[in-house]
Amino acid sequence: MHYSLSREEFSEVFEKGKRASCGRITLMYTRDNAGSFKFGVAVRKKTAPCVRNKIKRRLRSILLPIFKTAGLGLRLVVSAPPDSDEADFAGLKETVEKALKSAALT
């Protein structure tokens, strides 16, 4: 199963999607009639590549188990600040889960 957003889908969600935030994590999302779940992670390009990839890996490992079994029909972009790598995994997971609950996505 393919979970990554295409460039066009990513831009559409980023520009037209609804937003929810918790702490410094921002979620942008749109509903998808196909019933599939796709997501992307946005971290500023000014962030060092190794740090940016670390943040993306952590967010992927948090999001996949949550949505893997759910056929929600959702396109999601998670925006994280560059200092997200300083947070421990449990703290980052808790922040993402709070943001998902505030958006009524879980």
Interval 13-66: pLDDT, tens: 989 999 998 888 999 999 877 777 888 999 988 889 999 999 999 999 998 887
CATH architecture, domain 7-100? 2-Layer Sandwich (3.30)
**Domain ranges for the chain:** 7-100
Total-model pTM: 0.84
Burial zone of 30 (CB within 10 Å; 0-12 exposed, 13-18 middle, 19+ buried): middle
Do the Cβ atoms of 82 and 56 come closer than 8 Å? no
- Of 72 and 93, the structure prediction assigns the larger pLDDT to 93
User: pLDDT at position 69, please?
Assistant: 61
Asked if pLDDT for residue 70 goes beyond 70, the answer is no
